[in-house]
A and B are shown apart, each in its own frame.
Chain A
Amino acid sequence: MEDERSFSDICGGRLALQRRYYSPSCREFCLSCPRLSLRSLTAVTCAVWLAAYGLFTLCENSMILSAAIFITLLGLLGYLHFVKIDQETLLIIDSLGIQMTSSYASGKESTTFIEMGKVKDVVINEAIYMQKVIYYLCILLEDPVEPHGISQVVPVFQVSTEQLSKVFSPKKICYLSPFSAFLLLLRFSRNVNSSCQDYLRTPDSYF
């Protein structure tokens, strides 16, 4: 069962959220981030090459131009391989754990799996970014040494969405964002078995 919605991120780019329901104990959320725009790529390349040409007219050394080409190529490859995230996927498997996969534009995939026993809690964090407040989902991990402490705070999606927004569904207007409902999902699946089963069996009218 698949479902797709579109939102916008803090910089205004389009985001698409896809939800897949595999079984009562397994769900997947897939967030597609905005692609690399041709405009920004052209702008950066032109800027670098103009600067290199300016240096060339000063120094009369043709190595600068070749170096500029190499820098542009390597920089683009490095950006695509290490920085530009194409898609982020969150797979929740009941009583096994939570898996977060980030796939980069160059095809690289980096996966982290957090076992259910290590998850202490799931929270929505507020942060002030420039002039607005953004909300992002975090997983709190347990500290093996100190039972009441927290060892790590793991943000779920690196690309965060705008503030909680109204979501329209065919049946009713729901004022929960997909992420706060998702938060409820995680909370219940961790603690109480039976209510987890009940919750997961109902159709997603919460979304």
Chain B
Amino acid sequence: MVLKAFFPTCCASADSGLLVGRWVPEQSSAVVLAVVHFPFIPLQVKELLAQVHQAGRVELAVLGTWCHRRQGAEESLGHFLEGLGTIFSHEPWLQLCREPGSKLWSCKATRRQVPPRRGAPYEDQVMLVFYDQRKVLLSQLHPPAALPDRQAGDAAPSAGGLAAVFDTVARSEALFRSDRFDDGPVRLSHWQSEGVEASILVELAKRASGPVCVLLTCLLSLVSAASACRKANVLVSVLLDVALGLALLSWLRGKDRIGPLAEALVPVADHVAEELQHLLQWLMGAPAGLKMNRALDQVLGRFFLYHLHLWISYIHLMSPFIERILWHVGLSACLGLTVALSILSDIIALLTFHIYCFYVYGARLYCLKICGLSSLWRLFRGKKWNVLRQRVDSCSYDLDQLFIGTLLFTILVFLLPTTALYYLVFTLLRLLVVAVQGLMHLLVDLINSLPLYSLGLRLCRPYRLAAGVKFRVLEHEAGRPLRLLMQINPLPYGRVVHTYRLPSYGCHPTHSWGSLCRKLFFGELIYPWRQRGDKQD
């Protein structure tokens, strides 16, 4: 296998020194994390690596030497670097070298222990892969199919392939604490070395921000045990909700719209009731040219008309209090737009209560009729329903039973169109109201479950959410090692929403389209907002 050396781009301009990182033997890849500069004491370097191993449970080692020859450099540096191979023994020993002022690199990876095979090279072929250390440290890989039993704190970084590189960099945070500009025992070059601020105030602010962030994370972790991204999403959603609610409140109070709104509400309810009255009159006549059974038609029509009359009186009774109620509802919008929308949905439900009642009456009548019809149809054919065995059995009826049964059957059949028409009309009205309420619930759900923080992160800092990596082949010459640049491939927006979507409570329909049609056909009542775990009556 070709030896892959992952080299951070920030170290490409660093001075000569030792390469420190992790060697992954299964993929034959060396992940370089930092460069240790001269002068150093080998014992202190080994101590530092042991410290990092304890802190992050990642095995680091000295992988090789890095030589960056400046103009007028001595040749003895090369020999000195080769001699270091005896102090820090590592298989294979990497030797990276960069010519001054050019893009040409040379790499060698030598193995001392393995006896040279016939025809096989003594040195391994090396491929250089440059990576941006800061971005790899901060990014989070989202594998396409995450196994459910994978824990965050595994005993050893067992991730395969490129996930091992990300894992290594993430666990080596202890290594990045000291820098070549610090007065520590060991001088390192890594991603912290670039971007040293010119202003001392900014540097101090950066130092101070560390403990502040730690404090914030502690506080947040007290609130809930969910991951940081999830908490941020919830917080941003709540903030947006409150902001939209306050905007709605200011719009309502701005031009004093509550008064005219309340005044318009009662006439609208009256108008709806009038339209319903016209509808019932139409049904009592000859609706769409169909001929109804006169007596039943008149009974049902008059019953519903009286109900409607009661409802109109109720609305007129309530009219003095409407403005006060609306004012309080508007005030509740400062708790969030979702609260205002939910209250609005409930107000609609209350105002269309008569339609709900009509639907229930029509449905119950229709259901009774269908039950009766099916039972008498079985009698007509000489069968009956066996409740014990839950099946249809044949049965011998007496003559008078058959006679009465057939009579009742014909009566019910001829009264079916009338009841069915009333049922159809009121079911359609009810479904219309349910659709309007459903739209509002959908909007509330959208505001609550959209992961806005993650979407913002994907927009502004796309390297934080990584779907994978992508490679670009850099300029290369024959005879030199292949140089690749590894960049982070950000997660597509659809997957961001899918992964970080917050759970939505109570908007999923419990039945499918097929069962809905079946219930409508048999006249069973539909409860659109009932949850799966609720008690059935």
Mask: chain B, 146-162; 1 = CB below 8 Å from A; 0 = not: 01000000000000111
What are some 10 contacts across the A-B interface (CB < 8 A)?
Answer: A22-B482, A25-B482, A26-B127, A26-B482, A91-B471, A95-B28, A96-B471, A101-B470, A112-B489, A115-B160
A151 surroundings in chain B (CB, below 8 A): 145
Contacts between chains A and B (CB distance < 8 A), count: 57
Closest residue to A194 on the B side, CB-wise? Answer: B120
Interface string of B485-513 (1 = CB under 8 A from A): 00001000000000000000000000000
A99 in contact with B4 (CB, 8 Å):
no
Q: A99-B471, A113-B470, A113-B471 are in contact. List 12 more A-B contacts (CB 8 A).
A: A23-B481, A25-B125, A91-B471, A95-B2, A95-B28, A96-B4, A96-B129, A101-B470, A111-B489, A112-B489, A145-B147, A151-B145
Minimal Cβ-Cβ distance residue in A for B129? A96
CB distance from A64 to the nearest CB of B (A): 27
Write out the residue numbers on chain A whose beta carbons fall within 8 Å of the beta carbon of B2. 25, 94-95
CB-contacts of B106-142 with A (<8 A): 125, 127, 129
With an 8 Å Cβ cutoff, the count of chain A residues facing the other chain is 24
Name A's B-contacting residues (CB within 8 A).
22-26, 28, 91, 93-97, 99, 101, 111-113, 115, 117-118, 144-145, 151, 193
Task: Determine how close the nearest CB of chain B comes to the CB of A20; give it in whole angstroms.
Answer: 8
Contact between A23 and B482 (Cβ–Cβ < 8 Å)? yes
A101 (CB) vs chain B CBs: closest residue:
B470
Expressed in whole angstroms, the Cα–Cα distance for A24 and B125 within the complex equals 10
Measured between beta carbons, the chain B residues less than 8 angstroms from A115 are 160-162
> B160 — nearest CB in chain A belongs to which residue?
A117
From A22, A28, A96, A101, residue with most partner B Cβ within 10 Å: A96
Smallest beta-carbon distance B105→chain A, Å: 13
Which residues of B in the span 454-480 have a Cβ within 8 Å of any Cβ on A? 468-471, 473, 476
Distance in Å: Cβ of B520 to nearest Cβ of chain A: 37
| Minimal Cβ-Cβ distance residue in A for B3 | A95
Residues of chain A with a CB closer than 8 A to B27's CB:
95, 117
The residue in chain B whose Cβ has the minimal distance to the Cβ of A26 is B482
Does B4 contact A111, Cβ atoms closer than 8 Å? no
User: How many Å from the CB of B484 to the closest CB on chain A?
Assistant: 7
CB distance from A61 to the nearest CB of B (A): 27
A111 / chain B contacts, CB cutoff of 8 Å: 470, 489
* Chain B residue at minimal CB-CB distance from A141: B144
Closest residue on chain B to residue A110 by CB atoms: B492
Instruction: Give, as a whole number of angstroms, the nearest-CB distance from B37 to chain A.
Output: 30
Q: Once bound together, how far apart are the Cα atoms of A70 and B161, in whole Å?
A: 47
Q: Kindly list chain A residues whose C-beta atoms are within 8 Å of the C-beta of B145.
A: 144, 151
Closest to A1 in B: B478
In the assembled complex, the CB of B107 is this many whole angstroms from the nearest CB of chain A, namely: 12
Which of B469, B473, B481, B482 lies in contact with A113, CB distance below 8 A?
B469
Closest to A100 in B: B470
Chain A residues within an 8 Å CB radius of B160: 115, 117
Chain A residues contacting B1 (CB-CB under 8 Å) are 95, 193
In the assembly, what is the distance between CA of A117 and CA of B469, in Å? 15
